[in-house]
Amino acid sequence: MRSGRYVSIKVEPPGPKAREVIEKDSKYLMQSYVRWYPLVIARGEGAIVEDVDGNRYIDFNSGLAVLNTGHLPSPVIQRIKEQLGRFLHYSLTDFYYELAPMYAEKLINALKWDGGKVFFTNSGAESIEAGIKVSRGYFKGSRPYLISFLNSFHGRTMATLTLSASKTIHKKYFHPLLPGVIHVPYPYPYRCPFGSENEDECAERVIGYIEDVVFKKVVDPSEVAAFFIEPIQGEGGYIVPPKRFMEMLRSLTYRNGVLLVADEVQSGMGRTGELLAIYNFGIKPDLAALAKGIASGIPLGALVGDGDYMSLPKGSHANTFGGNPVALSAADATLDMLLGGLMENAKKMGTYIKTRLLELMDSSRIIGDVRGLGLMIGVEIVKDKAKKVPAPDLVEWIINHCFKRGLLIIGGGESSLRLAPPLVINRDQVDEAMEILVDVIREAETLL
């Protein structure tokens, strides 16, 4: 068993109470999802999670990059309680309430999005769906094609599933999907799809492929409505593209009159130290899809975009629960916390974690790459650093042994660890978490 200032493992997880819950879960819930490990949460506070057996963990995944403000943030809880005393629901797409335009204005101003408009949704997938309809609708059907990237993940609804290209199991049995979607390579600096070791060259090769192959042999650019891109690929392994690529892609879209839609569902709302991850590249998209961290765990999403593009005719798009008043109250308080110092902490703690990991990589036999912005950090695990041989078995081993010792991390891509702590995490918590992670990685090296 392990005990530290923050971590306390009293009984090897999953303990007896956890096993009871897992058994009932298996009996009554459709098991179409895959759990990373048998964590059964009972409560959380800040960056700390406690399970039903009393074990305490440091949270390095934030409920899949949702809890940017940490567990039970007081300002958010207070705003939720205040709204619960007023009203819980009154469909925004049929009537009005003050919270919606107030928060929309606040979000647009925070994003510095002059002339921007917002459409509220309930999830990331629904925000991307809205982006698809807005993109095609703006061109009134004259540009039916959409382009997204290999290794991407945009959601599990039928349209967002079509944009995604990360795992075949996501699409197996569900065809036919949305027509008119084309996938192109993503500039993965560590594993450039064109074999380049230079990231700028990799960027140029990808853009060259789009221009010389896709736009000349597959589809005329005049028929393409939008590119959908994750500024940092999430499920793909927290892959950060070269800045040169983002600049060239934006230039390409301008030249061809194609919209650029940023999927900021996982990377947005302060996680990278900016409200939108794409801002780290000096790029402004035409549309941005938000969810996850926007309301500190209360279901909410949003599509934000230039007013000219957010111009679907009345009756063409709506929903029942988007912009729920309780969720908007949580989002308003969340934005205050992000702007009030949490984004700066993301930069500070992210730089510290990356520095520690880069130092470890120098002496590690299995860390092939460390990448990320703010508190969105990927660690690529390999069996052979020279040949970059993926090691998914080691990734699984590391994740599960971190869990048993009190650190909650997850994987991504073919062979990477994803580190995404709450933005409230402090230096002492990071140090204790890193001690666990380093020890486990060192032990994993002995398995080769």
Alpha carbons within 13 angstroms on the beta-carbon side of residue 30 total: 1
Is residue 316 domain-shared with residue 356, that is, in the same domain?
no
Find how far residue 417's CA is from the centre of its chain. Answer: 14
65 in any annotated domain: yes
List, as one string, the DSSP characters of 157-176.
SHHHHHH--S-GGGTTT--S
pLDDT given for residue 149 in this prediction = 98
Tracing tokens 């590249």 back to the chain, one arrives at: 281
Cα separation, 208 vs 169, whole angstroms: 30
Residues 57 and 157 in one domain: no
Whether residue 62 sits in one domain with residue 20: yes
Q: Cβ distance 119 to 310 under 8 Å?
A: yes
- 208: enclosing H helix or E strand: helix 199-209
- Nearest by Cα to 342 from 154, 110, 120: 110
Which among 228, 259, 247 is positioned nearest to 124, based on CA atoms? Answer: 228
Residue 221 domain boundaries = 89-323
- Looking at residue 106, its pLDDT comes to 98
Based on the domain organization, do 307 and 439 belong to the same domain? no
pTM: 0.97
Are 271 and 415 in the same domain? no
Extract the tokens encoding 271: 């996680």
Q: Looking at 289, 323, 357, which one is the last position of a domain?
A: 323
To which residue do tokens 């950090």 refer? 377
CATH of the domain at 162: 3.40.640.10
Residue that finishes a domain, picked among 288, 323, 358: 323
Please report whether residue 160 resides in a domain.
yes
Q: What local confidence, expressed as pLDDT, does residue 3 receive?
A: 79
With respect to residue 81, please indicate whether it lies within any of the assigned structural domains: no
**Domain-ending residue, one of 295, 323, 351:** 323
Residue 335 is assigned to a structural domain of this protein: no
Q: Tell me whether residue 99 is in a domain.
A: yes
Residues 161, 119: one domain? yes
Grouping H, G, I as helix, E, B as strand and the rest as coil, residue 227 is strand
Count CB atoms within 10 A of the CB of residue 339: 14
**Run means of pLDDT, 10 residues per run, the chain, 448 residues:** 89 98 98 96 98 98 98 98 98 96 98 98 98 98 97 97 96 96 98 96 98 98 98 98 98 98 98 98 98 98 98 96 98 98 98 98 98 98 97 98 98 98 98 98 96
Same-domain pairing of 394 and 349: yes
Same domain for 281 and 146: yes
Sheet harboring 407-408: ordered strands across?
A: 41-45, 48-51, 56-59, 407-408
In a domain, 337, yes or no: no
Check which CATH number belongs to the domain holding 380 and give it. 3.90.1150.10
Residues 57 and 172 placed together within one structural domain of the fold: no
Total tally of structural domains belonging to the chain: 2
Contact criterion met (CB below 8 Å) for 370 and 343: no
User: Based on the domain organization, do 260 and 129 belong to the same domain?
Assistant: yes
Structure-block tokens of residue 387: 């040949």
Residue 8 falls inside a structural domain:
no
Backbone angles phi, psi at 273, to 5 degrees: 95, -5
Q: Considering the domain boundaries, does residue 9 fall inside one?
A: no
**297 vs 330: CA distance, rounded Å:** 9
b/e for 239-251, b at 16 or more Cβ within 10 A?
Answer: bbbbebbbebbbe
E strand residue ranges, 132-240: 145-149, 181-184, 224-229
The pair of structure tokens assigned to 44 is 């959380």
Q: Do residues 155 and 292 both lie within one domain?
A: yes
Question: Which among 371, 80, 412 has a CA at the least distance from the CA of 266?
Answer: 412
**What is the pLDDT at residue 364?**
98
| 357 and 261 within one domain | no
The pLDDT of residue 2 is 74
